[in-house]
Chain A
């Protein structure tokens, strides 16, 4: 089976800060991959490069066979990569329903109204449908953000910290809904996450970032136990073992 997304030799720096240093990654279809790493390690930069918000200094991004470096976020969305945001990007003066309706209409769904109703149910947003998106609780905003991203019938869904800003007991519930919806839509998921319980529970593969580079890549079991991941990503105090 051929890869959904391939990053080849990505480099990006902001002045003296290395945000991406020789990133090489391949993502297979129908997988759920988590990106972990401390703040500033380069996770969001990676998402921003993939979606065309930032242009890499060098390197290639292949979506399927196609190099998408230099494409705009809009073109990349239309090709089939969608994303949600750490701070939900919504239309605050429109209702939750209207937000979805805009998204479904842009996606040129046959019946935007029906698709909207379906999404409201799937994401458990129906009780909030008539409220203004600017006024609903953060957890609802997070779900709406993902629901809008999924409306474009993409093949690849990027989630930037889908559970940040919500209480610990809400996190699992939100991820259950999100991952359930993604599975049903048969879309590959890459999500950035700081909560290692969430990572262990939902990811089939984990990629650990540190200082713009990748320090570990593999199954949650191996990556989350690796010493450098525990030291640099999870932040455990690990006594220097004798070599």
Chain B
């Protein structure tokens, strides 16, 4: 099967990267995976026609949940941290989703943004959590196995790769089956979905929950990569970044978010080196260009080439 082949190839490539490449590249690959997972979650939500400008909420919850485990409870196992990040985000998404699933379009987008700003407001004022500075976290074991200093990140990257690939395969299955078609149905015509006897509210709720859990996983992975968390993770510009990456890649493919996240991180690294004051402008211009000329995202370029070949 094609999806399985791509999954295995990705895993092998990432494992090789984790074992052989310099530390900075390992770090970047982790960030890329983390953001890719968050954006893939956003894609799940976008299937129902909704865009969240507040995924930073779950990204931040995932990051802080992982960090608090190490900081407060002295749990230093990376696998537990990743799962806890996803679980904490899913828990909050399950609550907020009850309210948000009733909203559509711009109201959904802005209300989700408001919730992320509530958390931001709490975090910057919370002295116990380091206020605007945040705090550091440490992971020393993986599934109970103690790691030698210096190789932790390499192991975390492999762990992140396994988690990301599994999640991506699940989403792939989801999109191809009834649930994916139903979500598209909700996007196209909610009235008809209701008149077929299904609940658009429930479809949106479940997809919101999935997107939240994935953002939490991504947040925990990013926290492991950086070794530090701060309120910036929940700020609306972080959420905006996720939406940008989603637009950049397009919604055609499961791989698109990861490719787009890689391009995004690579560009950001180059820009921060050579033209820190032109980074946002380049982002803005790129976003306009994509919306105008490639409304389905960069992935359309790859598709076009494949078709003409």
Chain A positions near chain B (C-beta within 8 angstroms): 51, 72-74, 77-78, 82-83, 89-94, 98, 101-103, 105-107, 112, 148-149, 151-152
Contact = CB atoms under 8 A, between A and B. Distances in A.
Interface of B: 178, 181-182, 184-185, 187-189, 191-199
A35 B198 CA distance: 28
List 10 A-B pairs, minimum CB-CB distance, nearest first.
A77-B197, A91-B188, A89-B192, A105-B178, A106-B198, A78-B197, A74-B194, A106-B196, A91-B185, A73-B194
A107 B181 contact: no
Given A74-B199, A102-B178, A93 B184 contact: yes
A105 B188 contact: no
Nearest to A77: B197
A51 B195 contact: yes
A120 to B, nearest CB: 16
B184 A152 contact: no
B207 to A, nearest CB: 15
A74 B198 contact: yes
A112 B197 contact: no
Given A90-B189, A102-B178, A107-B197, 8 more contacts: A73-B191, A74-B194, A74-B199, A77-B195, A89-B192, A91-B188, A94-B184, A148-B192
A149 B181 contact: no
Nearest to B181: A102
B195 A73 contact: yes
B188 A93 contact: yes
Nearest to B201: A74
A241 to B, nearest CB: 45
A77 B185 CA distance: 17
A157 B2 CA distance: 43
Given A105-B178, A151-B196, A152-B196, A89 B185 contact: no
A151 B185 CA distance: 15
B195 A82 contact: yes
B189 A89 contact: yes
A105 B181 contact: yes
Nearest to B186: A91
Contact of B192 (A72, A90, A93, A105): A90
A107 B197 CA distance: 7
Given A105-B178, A112-B178, A91 B189 contact: yes
Contacts of B195: 51, 73-74, 77, 82-83, 89, 149
Contacts of A94: 181, 184-185, 188
B181 A72 contact: no
A101 to B, nearest CB: 6
A178 B213 CA distance: 45
A105 B181 CA distance: 10
Contact of B181 (A74, A78, A98): A98
Contacts of B192: 89-91, 148
Contacts of A151: 196
Nearest to A98: B181
A101 B179 CA distance: 11
A55 B185 CA distance: 25
Contacts of B182: 102, 105-106
B64 to A, nearest CB: 38
B50 to A, nearest CB: 15
A74 B186 CA distance: 13
A13 B44 CA distance: 42
Contact of A72 (B187, B188, B193, B194): B194
A112 B195 CA distance: 18
Contacts of A82: 195-196
A94 B187 CA distance: 11
A101 B181 CA distance: 8
B194 A77 contact: yes
B216 to A, nearest CB: 29
Contacts of A98: 181
A148 B178 CA distance: 15
Contacts of B181: 91, 94, 98, 101-102, 105
